[in-house]
Amino acid sequence: MSSLMLLQSQQESKRVGSDELRGDKAARQSPLVLKKQLGLWDVYALSTGATLSAGVFLLPGLAAAGAGAAMPLSYLLGAAILLPGLLSHVELATAMPKAGGIYYFLDRSLGPLAGTIGGFGTWIALILKSSFALIGVGAYLQLFVPGLQMGPVAAGLAVFFGVVNYFGTKKSGSFQGLLLLGLLILLAWFLGLGVLRTELSHFSGFFASGSGGIISTAGLVIVSYMGLTKVVGVAEEVKNPGRNLPLGMFLALGTVVGIFILGTSVMVGVVGVDTLAQGGGDLTPAATVAERLAGPWGAIIMTVAALFAFSMAANAGVMSAARYPLAMARDRILPDLFSKIGARGTPTIGIAVTVGLIVLSVTLFDPTKIAKLASAFKLVVFALSCIAVIVMRESRIESYDPAYRSPFYPGFHILGVLGPAWLIVKMGPLPTLFTGGLILFGATWYSYYARDRSNRAGAIYHVFERLGRQRSNGLDPEFRSSLDQRSPSLGGPFEELCRAARVLDLRGPLDFEEVATQASQLLAIDLPVPSSRLLGEFLEGMRIGATPVSHGAALPHLLLDVVNRPFLVLARVRDGVEFDGRHKQGRPAMEEPVRALFFLVGPKADPAQHLDTLANIASRVDQESFMQEWLDAEGGAELKRTLVRDEDGILVITLRASDDSRALIGLRVSELSLPDDTLIATIHREGKVIIPQGDTALFAGDRLSVIGRPEALSSLRDHAGHGYRS
């Protein structure tokens, strides 16, 4: 469990009022956070698998009826219209990797009313899309089982995917990965054979449908890309989200666009537009083309591929949709029951209700028609994500520091708003009315249920503040409190900061103010700021809830415009620190006494570095081994080493003439005798990265990035410059 995410839940409790602190016994006994279980492959598999279904196996026949041989252009146009919104999703997810995806983004940027509308609308849209995917299975099964009643089959599959999700995100992600691997193999066979059998004559009259047909068909097939953003709904469960979310989603985007363009071109080239468009559109186009390529076995192979694809879409839909009620319940938009997380680290109530609504949809309604209407609301969501990025950037909240920033701001994002709006109008009055209905429902729910339960304001109030109106003070502490969701960069400047840190080693028990007083006095030695000012700001940060406190550690921190680099004081209080007035301030009681405090002062001109430093500290503190090592450390030097222990298998050594590393200056890499299981991976020199060779010489100021086993790196740190010359 992530300790600082638990803190965020506590801080949100303070902001929404003391009535929220009541909590029932069951809620307090269950975990409050989701486990981080998803790596890069899982992100790629979820994003790709949620997308490669209708776009290949269902819609090409309908698209051929509308755009003719030019339907690949419709797929390309659809991707272009959604690209600004997709990139905005990525930026928001790397800045705020939390469960609930677009709900959380809209709530924190535009406020709880917009968040409620976006949350309900997206949840309903995902439920209908998942139902649509399960019905899609039936279209292919009916090729071999005519008259099959798909309602019961779809309901059974929905329950199956709910069970898979209940047993953990990692298991669901692994299941998704296996299905994707099988699907990509079958698609590679289909596309490879299809390219060889393509007849260029089938592309004659390429633009016969005209621009109107291509544009209207883009509105139809744009639903194919909606699955790319489902993974942001589980961003809280992604390891290293700053890297894995954007990389996984971009790889998925490249994969699906390539498959859609090549796949639809193969379909036209093999059987021609007339065959695909027959009867208003072939609902099993992949099987039709595969049968032409390889006979009945070809149809069977692509039916299996379709089952894989629609199963992945349904599984990813259940996984993503179940996180929306969780996020909304955390903010008291929905009843507290939905915030419960089971022993396996999954939102059990959210999964159960989502699956129940899918079963209801596939048994009572025609989700195929409704899901197409829901696509219009997803277009609204893509437009709102672009607005959210504009608001977050213009709010100038220091702790808004995404690992990825969408390009060409703000023109690109303005187009991302106008493009979906234009396309919704082109889709006709019914999708517009359906979208309006979802917006009205969300607004009504917020007005009559959630308004009095939710006491938050979005980042848009920070924009208003620049225009002379009131800002919201709750967001900056909230973003800071989830620091360990970011992607800390270990080693380098952080290790140097820890090396230079001043240390307080106290017995206690002491009040926080007493410890902060001594820390402020130490910091004032190095800073052009009186200790009284530092003390006042540290105490104010604790009072308003901007100081992360959890897992036996506290991180008081502040930014100053008179410093150009960070300064740190480490404080160990063996018998613990008392925080007077915690309950008066609406804070829950602490799980364990605070024995580690890290007083950090950073430059106001570089908030990103400040946040990265806090993320490094949070990442280390959150490890189970930290506190015991902290208490067992003998002296200040060992206290510093506990903070930069090489858990990640990376050690950064900066060569200086002023310390023991000077013994390595002037040597060549081949002259070093490093411990077994270690290797110098890179050398950073004057802003350049050097891949070391045997004859590479070492100079003062070089930063050596050494990889290896933690115990070997620990030995290297303790003896660098003493025992590693050959």
Q: Per mean pLDDT, which range of 371-385, 458-472, 586-600, 605-619 is the poorest? A: 458-472
Residues 453-465, mean pLDDT to the nearest whole number: 52
For residue range 304-351, list pLDDT tens digits in order. Answer: 888 888 887 777 778 777 877 887 887 788 888 887 777 767 778 888
Q: How many CA atoms lie within 13 A of 500 on its CB side?
A: 12
Query: What DSSP assignment string belongs to 290-307?
Result: HHHHHTHHHHHHHHHHHH
* 358: pLDDT strictly greater than 70: yes
pLDDT of 519 > 90? The answer is yes
pLDDT of residue 261: 93
> Using CA atoms, how far apart are residues 232 and 101, in angstroms rounded to an integer?
5
> Can you give the pLDDT at residue 58?
79
Determine the pLDDT at residue 515.
92
Q: What is the pLDDT of residue 541?
A: 82
- pLDDT recorded at residue 50: 73
The answer for residues whose C-beta is within 8 angstroms of residue 244's C-beta and 6 or more apart is 38, 39, 40, 43, 238
- Which DSSP helix (H) or strand (E) runs through 688? strand 688-690
Q: What pLDDT is attached to residue 370?
A: 65
Angle, CA 471 vertex, CA 468 and CA 473 arms, to 5°: 150
Q: What is the pLDDT of residues 557-583, one digit of tens each?
A: 998 888 888 899 999 998 888 876 443
Measured from the Cβ of residue 132, the count of other Cβ atoms closer than 10 Å reads 29
> Interhelix angle for 296-321 vs 285-294, to 10°?
150
What pLDDT does 96 receive?
A: 76
Nearest residue to 301 via CA among 314, 284, 315, 282: 284
pLDDT of residue 446: 84
Higher pLDDT, 719 or 590: 719
Given a cut of 60, is residue 143 above it in pLDDT? yes
Helix axes 607-621, 3-16, angle to 10 degrees: 110
So what's the pLDDT on residue 568?
92
pLDDT tens sequence across 208-262: 888 878 887 887 787 778 778 777 767 777 777 778 888 888 998 999 999 999 9
* 607 pLDDT higher than 90: no
| Mean pLDDT, range 502-530, rounded to an integer | 89
| Tokens representing residue 16 in the block | 């929404």
Q: Which residues pair with 550 in a beta bridge?
A: 553
| pLDDT for 448 beyond 60 | yes
Write the pLDDT tens digit of every residue in 658-668. Answer: 766 777 888 88
Query: pLDDT (tens digit, 9 = 90+) per residue, 96-114?
Result: 777 666 777 777 777 788 8
Q: 10 Å Cβ neighbour count for 426?
A: 13
* Separation of alpha carbons 56 and 71, rounded Å: 12
**Is the sign of the CA dihedral 96, 99, 100, 102 positive or negative?**
positive
pLDDT of residue 571: 92
Task: Determine what percent of the chain is predicted with pLDDT higher than 90.
Answer: 9
**Angle, alpha carbons 98-400-588 (nearest 5°):** 55
**The model's pTM:** 0.59
**For residue 10, what pLDDT is reported?**
36
pLDDT at 645: 56
Structural domains in the chain, CATH included, are 36-362 (1.20.1740.10), 488-643 (3.40.930.10), 650-719 (3.30.70.1450)
Residue 387 has pLDDT above 60, yes or no: yes
Strand partners, 652: 705
Mean pLDDT score, 353-370: 78
- Give the integer Cα–Cα distance in Å for 45 and 175: 9
What would the pLDDT profile of 37-82 be if each residue is shown by its tens digit? 678 888 888 788 778 877 888 788 888 888 888 899 999 988 888 8
H or E segment at 554? strand 553-554
Looking at residue 600, its pLDDT comes to 93
Under DSSP, the state recorded for 649 is S
- Is the predicted pLDDT of residue 462 greater than 50, yes or no? no
Comparing 89 with 98, the larger pLDDT belongs to: 89
More confident: 657 or 258: 258
Judged against a pLDDT cut of 50, whether residue 32 lies above it is answered with no
Q: Rounded to an integer, what distance in angstroms lies between the CA atom of residue 103 and that of residue 222?
A: 21
Count Cα atoms within 13 angstroms, Cβ side, for 568. 23
pLDDT at 709 over 80: no
Q: DSSP states of 658-684 as a string?
A: TSGGGGGTT-BGGGB-PPTTEEEEEEE
Residue pLDDT, tens place only, 115-124: 888 888 888 8
241-271 and 169-196 are packed helices; what angle lies between their axes, rounded to 10 degrees? 30
SS (H, E, C) 396-455: CCCCCCCCCCCCCCCHHHHHHHHHHHHHHHHHCHHHHHHHHHHHHHHHHHHHHHHCCCCC
In angstroms, the Cα distances linking 19 to 14, 30, 429, 571 are: 9, 19, 44, 35
Q: How far is CA 202 from CA 71, 197, 221, 265, 398, in A?
A: 13, 12, 21, 10, 57
Determine contact, residues 126/119, Cβ cutoff 8 Å. Answer: no
Find the length of the chain.
726
The pLDDT, as a whole number, for residue 368 is 56
Instruction: Name the packing angle between helices 169-196 and 150-166 (round to 10°).
Output: 130
* Residue 239 confidence (pLDDT): 79
Chain mean pLDDT for the chain: 76
Is residue 684 within 8 Å of residue 703, measured between CB atoms? Answer: yes
Confidence of residue 33 (pLDDT cuts 50, 70, 90): low
Asked if pLDDT for residue 501 goes beyond 70, the answer is yes
The pLDDT of 457-467, averaged and rounded, is 47
Q: Which residues contact 320 (CB under 8 A, 6 or more apart)?
A: 50, 101, 126, 230, 231, 233, 234
For residue 547, pLDDT beyond 80 = no
Per the CB < 8 A criterion, the answer to whether 99 and 34 are in contact is yes
Q: Which of 32, 27, 113 is CA-nearest to residue 481?
A: 32
- Residue listed under structure tokens 């919104």: 85
Buried b (16+ CB within 10 A) or exposed e, 436-474: eebbeebeebbeeebeebbebbbbbbbbbeeeeeebbeb
Instruction: Say if residues 22 and 332 touch (Cβ distance below 8 Å).
Output: no
CA-to-CA distance for 335 and 329, rounded, in angstroms? 6
SS (H, E, C) 575-622: EEEECCCCCCCCCCCCCCCEEEEEEEEEECCCHHHHHHHHHHHHHHHC
Q: How does residue 655 score in pLDDT terms, banded at 50, 70 and 90?
A: confident
Per-residue model confidence (pLDDT) at position 95: 80
Residue 589: pLDDT band (50, 70, 90) is very low
Whether the predicted pLDDT of 398 surpasses 70 = no
Name, of 3-12, 133-142, 550-559, 708-717, the range with top average pLDDT.
550-559
